[in-house]
Amino acid sequence: MKALTTSEKSLIEGYAAALQDIMKEITGANDCAKSYDPLTVSDDGKIMHSYAFDMKDGGRHHMVTQYKTVEDIKKTLLNEAVKEIQQCSGQEL
C-alpha cells in the first residue's frame, strides 16, 4: 500500500481504539497510558503513529508501505491484541 484513504484512516484508528478498549477491559491494564488515542494516521495516510501497538517494526512510527492491504494492518493489530491478552491472563485464547 502507498497510503490510506480518509475512510481507511478512520477505520484503522477506530479498530485500534476498539482493540485497546477490549485489551484494557480484559486485562485491567493500560500499559501505554494512551488508551484514549492508541493509534493515529498521518494526514497524508502514509504513517501510523502508535504508543499502544508495536506492529511489525516495534517502533512508534509505522510506514503504511509495510502492509499489503487494510486487512493486513487489521490482522497485525488483532494478533498483537490477542498476544497481549494472553500474556496478561496467562492463558491461550
What pLDDT digit, counting tens, does each position of 7-31 carry? 999 999 999 999 998 988 888 776 5
Element (H, E) at 21: helix 6-27
Instruction: Quote the number of domains for the chain.
Output: 1
Residue 62 falls inside a structural domain:
yes
The dihedral through the CA atoms of 69, 27, 41, 58 has a sign that is: negative
Please give the model's pTM, rounded to 2 decimal places.
0.88
Report if residue 65 sits inside a domain. Answer: yes
The helix (H) or strand (E) run that includes residue 61 is strand 61-63
Residue 92 belongs to some domain of the structure: no
In a domain, 93, yes or no: no
Residue 32: give the domain boundaries: 6-87
Indicate if the pLDDT at residue 33 is higher than 60: no
58 part of a folded domain: yes
User: Does residue 1 form part of some domain?
Assistant: no
